Amino acid sequence: MQKGFTVWFTGLSGAGKTTITERLVELIQEKGRNVEVLDGDVVRTNLSKGLGFSKEDRDTNIKRIAFVCKLLTRNGAAVISAAISPYRDIRQHARDEIKNFVEVYVSCPLEVCESRDVKGLYAKARAGEIKQFTGIDDPYEEPLNPEVVCETDKETVEQSAQKVMAKLEELGYFA
């Protein structure tokens, strides 16, 4: 059985987590592995419906994602989580639970994330229509020691995805 792992993308809304995930899925599949993706927006619609954006609700959402990642990872799956996960303590909880955990910080300046905002969420947050929006009126705690940092304002999607693949290979997740 192949060794399971979870790639945990974290970063502001609009930083590029989902975009890099889409390319990373292709790269992992090219290596002959199946991969499961737990995208923050999809999880909130299905697994965490009804949760708000208080710290407690955000932590509950991340604990649910981590639980599913842990189950899949221990059964040999390649798993990608792409969720803002703004708080260091809950990301550490996910790392401790999952074990084969590769944290990827998708770094991007707030103004660039705002310029990419196709849903208009930042504008709504700045207008006071959305409360507790990460990066505006709720904090984002950058990772202190992620395994990979992708700077999406400076590198292409391909470069970012290749950085993550290189780290997965270095860590021995591919034969």
In angstroms, rounded to a whole number, what is the distance separating the alpha carbons of residues 162 and 175? 17
Beta bridge partners of 82: 9, 39
pLDDT(175) > 80: no
Helix (H, G, I), strand (E, B) or coil at 95: helix
Q: Give per-residue pLDDT as tens, 23-71.
A: 999 999 999 999 999 987 778 777 777 787 778 888 898 999 999 999 9
Alpha-carbon span 101 to 79, nearest angstrom: 10
pLDDT (0 to 100) of residue 118: 84
Q: Is 85 labeled as catalytic in the residue annotation?
A: yes
pLDDT in the model for residue 55:
83
pTM given for the model:
0.94
pLDDT in tens, 67-114: 999 999 999 999 999 999 999 999 999 999 999 999 999 999 999 999
Alpha-carbon radius of gyration of the chain: 16
Choose, from 48, 81, 85, 160, the residue flagged as catalytic. Answer: 85
Rounded Cα gap, residues 59 and 49, in angstroms: 14
The C-alpha atoms of residue 59 and residue 174 are separated, in whole angstroms, by 31
pLDDT tens per residue, range 107-133: 999 999 999 998 899 999 999 998 889
Instruction: Supply 164's token pair.
Output: 């993550």
Which CATH number applies to 5-170: 3.40.50.1820, 3.65.10.10, 3.40.980.10, 3.40.50.300? 3.40.50.300
pLDDT score, position 39:
87
Among candidate residues 66, 26, 43, the one with its CA nearest the CA of residue 164: 26
